[in-house]
Amino acid sequence: MIGSLVIVGTGPGKPELMTPATEAVLAKATDLVGYGPYLDRVPPRNGQRRHASDNRVELDRARHALTLAASGRDVVVVSGGDPGVFAMAAAVFEAIEMGDPAWQALDIRVEPGVTAMLAAAAEVGAPLGGDFCAISLSDNLKSWATIERRLKAAAEADFVIALYNPASKARPHQLAQAFDVLRSVKSGATPVLFVRAAGTAEAKVLTTTLAAADASVADMRTLVIVGASTTRTVGRWVYTPRREHGTAS
């Protein structure tokens, strides 16, 4: 008997931001696999097994989920936000590529979710209204040199930049370094948004400029959005126009 594996995201926090498709998958699962705090967002169901693990064991978690599915279980791997954005979907497929060839025959799919940058943008208006990119500042799986190169390239291309994983106890200095890289290219007047706990009842927004941005206000629950040259502030709202200046209406 061959089981199934579905990778889901619980959204940014509020239960109503979890998609109905994800709720349906969770209700049918025999086993839930994930980081403990994300599993805590899922209401318990009779007969369902939970397999919680620490935050830095993504590949081990993925292999465990695949092994369960291969044994005939209906497994759901639980991420926060969207599972395909800096989350577990990539870890599962990496485990498949390096693991048992039989895993490739499993019934595997990914359900989309609401990722942090979309929730953060909604708190302030439409800062992602034009072209944008997302960069994680975590150097656990890539070098800081790679992060700096990507930050500079995104700044030179004048993208709005959503910064994931801006700070942690182990990495208290990297957001300040990222701001230094961006200041070498972007205007100091560029809007910067610190959105903490986006998509939850505890959401807080700080709007400032690149010149004044204080990296110490961010933690791992913060999503930082750095505007483009076209990003504007209108009252308490921030948005990036879709139209480039000088183009026809």
pLDDT digits (tens, 9 = 90+) for 175-207: 999 999 999 999 999 999 999 999 999 999 999
pLDDT of amino acid 100? 93
User: Is residue 249 a part of any domain in this protein?
Assistant: no
In angstroms and rounded to an integer, the radius of gyration of the C-alpha atoms of the chain is: 20
pLDDT at 140: 86
**248 domain-assigned:** no
Task: Tell me, yes or no, whether 153 and 211 share the same domain.
Answer: yes
**In this structure, what token pair is assigned to residue 219?**
């933690």
Residue 109 lies in a domain: yes
Per the CB < 8 A criterion, the answer to whether 156 and 182 are in contact is: no
pLDDT value at position 55? Answer: 76
Query: Nearest Cα to 74, choosing from 108, 43, 40, 111?
Result: 108
Determine, yes or no, domain membership for 245.
Answer: no
What is the CATH number for 68?
Answer: 3.40.1010.10
Domain coverage including residue 156: 117-239
Residues 131 and 109 in one domain: no
* pLDDT at position 214: 96
**What SS3 class is residue 46?**
coil
Question: For residue 17, which phi and psi values (nearest 5 degrees)?
Answer: -95, 0
SS3 of residue 238 by DSSP: strand
Quick one: which of 125, 101, 102 has its CA closest to 235?
125
Give the end of a domain, one of 63, 80, 114.
114
Count of domains in the chain?
Answer: 2
The model's pTM is: 0.92
131 three-class SS: coil
Q: How many CB atoms lie within 10 A of CB 215?
A: 18
Average pLDDT value over all residues in the chain: 94
Q: For the chain, which ranges sit under pLDDT 70?
A: 1, 246-249
Residues 129, 191: Cα–Cα separation, whole Å: 14
pLDDT at 159: 98
> Could you identify the residue written with the tokens 């199934």?
4
Are both 231 and 121 inside the same structural domain?
yes
228 and 126 co-located in one domain: yes
Q: What is the pLDDT of residues 206-240, one digit of tens each?
A: 999 999 999 999 998 999 999 999 999 999 999 99
For the chain, where are the alpha helices, taking DSSP H only? 20-28, 36-39, 58-70, 88-98, 116-124, 144-156, 174-183
- How much is the pLDDT for 112? 96
User: What length does the chain have?
Assistant: 249
Residues 197 and 123 in one domain: yes
Tell me, yes or no, whether 143 and 68 share the same domain.
no
Q: Quick check: is 247 in a domain?
A: no
- Domain match, 89 and 180 both: no
Longest pairwise C-alpha distance within the chain:
62
What DSSP string runs through 98-124?
HS-GGGGGSEEEE-----HHHHHHHHH
